Amino acid sequence: MNQIRSRLADLVRQQRERMTAGSAPAATEADLTELTDFGANPGALRMLTYLPPGLQRGAPLVVALHGCTQTAAGYAQGSGWTSLAATGGFALLLPEQRQANNPNRCFNWFESGDTTRGQGEVASIRAAIAHLVTAQGIDPARIFVTGLSAGGAMTTSLLATYPEVFAAGAIIAGLPHGAAAGMAEAFEAMGTGRPKPAAEWAALVRAASSHRGPWPRVSVWQGDADTTVRPANAEQILRQWAALHGTGGTPEASGSGNRRSLAWRGAGGAVVLEHHAIAGMAHGVPIDPARLGSVAPYFLPVGIASTAEIAGFFGLPVELPAAADATTAATATAATDAKPAGTQAAGSKTIDQDGTPVPEADDGFSLGGIKLTSIDPNGVIRKALTAAGLMKG
């Protein structure tokens, strides 16, 4: 297992070096404060915070989780969360993975020891939240969590293991709680979503704590040209949380340009689950750099300021310049240019890394017409291990 992780770390490092020319300046940690004594830290994570000047007691808190190869400071800058926190008067908690825990700096969303209540990384993050509630007077009713990729998968695990802590969460290119147990299942889950009936997904969340509702509201974001964490995973997340909220009916549909959105309302009339699919976008955070965020690997200029929209979903104050009028043509081009080598979009279809169209399949369950992508899990794992030099092609 250590050999696999080491080889994968080498691959990721090589890819990062190839992408250096397009990266934004690293965010400065000078704007952040590290928490060194926040309580139990069984996951051995770093914890950084951004507390804007004049932060009032009773302010909200957003927990923002970076993706693989990223740092907390880089994620805060690229996504624009520090800018929003400064103008909106809320606090940020920015957990950071250590390379000693994972060579690629991925949160260990596929390890049960890190995604079980009271254990590992989720327990460390919970301890840091409790510290800020006491030390900064954070409003315990307005705590939110969001993350990208591995950070998105860890977001779902935090929502599952500590649902009483979070009012809402936003998952960007992530996976459902309980999607994998170990490295091989992680590869399969990223490639296929490991589809299950909604009731089975919901049962995994119910088993994660003694909580029985109300459940956190959830926002799901996914690029339809993502070949790292396939769009099928977004549907599995929707299944999981629709079953918990009891909102499996026909959603409200909206969208224009390169985005299609679906929303489900709860018994009280508020949106409790939403999904945003971005046409032509690969793996990363959708941003509009003219309004918020910085272009860098995994921060993709598709004309959508997703961080601001997520903040709005959380009920936080947002002040941004108006969006530009012309988005469709320019953003589609930008999305294609920002994708990893060998990935492209052809109309509404996804083209795999080897250039072949990926067929769609319907397993009998549909949320607003979203369908699973049919992919051979053994093929996904084989390609990954071949690329890592652990299997002959």
- Residues with a known catalytic role: 149
Q: Which residues contact 203 (CB under 8 A, 6 or more apart)?
A: none
- Give the type of residue at 231: P
d(CA 147, CA 101): 18
3-state SS string for the chain: CHHHHHHHHHHHHHHHHHCHHHCCCCCCHHHCEEECCCCCCCCCCEEEEECCCCCCCCCCEEEEECCCCCCHHHHHHHHCHHHHHHHHCCEEEEEECCCCCCCCCCCCCCCHHHCCCCCHHHHHHHHHHHHHHHHHCCCCCCEEEEEECHHHHHHHHHHHHCCCCCCEEEEECCCCCCCCCCHHHHHHHHHHCCCCCHHHHHHHHHCCCCCCCCCCEEEEEEECCCCCCCCHHHHHHHHHHHHHHCCCCCCEEECCCCEEEEEEECCCCCEEEEEEEECCCCCCEEEECCCECCCECCEEECCCCHHHHHHHHHCCCCCCCCCCCCCHHHHHHHHHHHCCCCCEEECCEEECCCCCECCEECCCCCECCECEECCCHHHHHHHHHHHCCCCCC
Structure tokens at 82: 């520090």
- Give the number of C-alpha atoms closer than 13 A to the C-alpha of residue 168, restricted to the C-beta side: 19
